[in-house]
Amino acid sequence: MARRHWVFGLLLAAGVSLRVLAQMAYRPALLYIDSSKYLVGSGGSEPEGYQALLRSLDPLGGIALVAAAQHLFGLALAVTLYMLLIRYGVPRWLAALAAAPVLLDAYQLQLEQTIMPDVFFEALIGAGLAVLLWPRRAGGSARWQIAAGALILGCATTVREIGGVLLVPLMVFAFITVAGWRRRAVRNISTASIRSSARRWRRWTAPCWCWPAPALARPAC
C-alpha cells in the first residue's frame, strides 16, 4: 500500500520536516499585528471560534501548542485533499501534485506558525467540503452527508464571518444532489406558475363570461 502512494509519501515527509523546522526556528509562535485581539480578547468584535481554540490549548502548552495544532491542521488538509482525489479516480501522481502546495508552500507554513485564525478557518472549510463531496455508496442517502457538511461549514462562520457566504453554494449543492428536494422544488415552481397563469387568464377573460346577460348589459369584449 505504501509503495502505491510513494509520491505523496515523499511530499508528506517533506511537509512534516518543514513544519518541524518552522516550529523550532520560530518558538513559541509568530505574532501578527492582529494576534493580540485573539490572545487578549476582541471584546465581541470578532467571532469566538478561534478564541475558543486558543483558550482550550493555551493552558496546556501555550501558544507553541497552538502553532503545533495548526501545523497538524495543514497536514490533515493535505491528506484529506489527496484521499478525496483518489476516491474520484484521479491518478496518484496528479493527486499528490494537487496536495503539494498545502504541504510545501512557504506562505502556508507561515500561516500555520502564526497566531491567526486563517489555518483553522481553511481546515474547517476543507473538512466541510470533503464531507459534502465524498463519494457515497450506490443508493445511499445524501441528506445526512449534507447535514454534516453544513454543520462543519457553519462552524467556519464562528472563526471568520466571511464563511457565511458559503451558505449560497451549499444550498445550490443540496438542490442538485438531493433528488427529493429537486422534485419538490420543481413541483412547487410548476404549481405556482400554473396558479399565476390561471389568475391572469381569469382576470383577462372575466368580462366575456357575461354572455347570457341581456345585450345592453353585456360589456364589450
pLDDT at position 210: 47
**Which of 68, 115, 90, 108 lies closest to 8, judged by CA?**
90
Block residue for cell numbers 485573539: 38
Q: Which amino acid is at 211?
A: W
**Position 213 confidence tier, pLDDT thresholds 50, 70, 90:** very low
pLDDT tens digits for 76-87?
Answer: 999 999 999 999
HSE of 59 in the Cβ direction (CA atoms, 13 Å)? Answer: 4
The pLDDT value recorded for residue 1 is 65
Q: Which residue has the higher pLDDT, 40 or 33?
A: 33
Q: Which residues pair with 114 in a beta bridge?
A: 30
pTM: 0.76
Q: Judge whether 73 and 120 are in contact, CB under 8 Å.
A: yes
Q: At what angle are helices 118-133 and 143-156 packed, to 10 degrees?
A: 170
Domain residue ranges of the chain, discontinuous segments joined by +:
3-181
3-state secondary structure of 48: coil
Q: Bigger pLDDT: 51 or 40?
A: 51
Tell whether the model's pLDDT for residue 162 goes beyond 60: yes
Q: How far is CA 175 from CA 3, 145, 181, 188, in A?
A: 40, 13, 6, 13
Asked if residue 124 lies in contact with residue 43, where contact means CB atoms within 8 angstroms, the answer is no
pLDDT tens-digit series, residues 77-129: 999 999 999 999 999 999 999 999 999 999 999 999 999 999 999 999 999 99
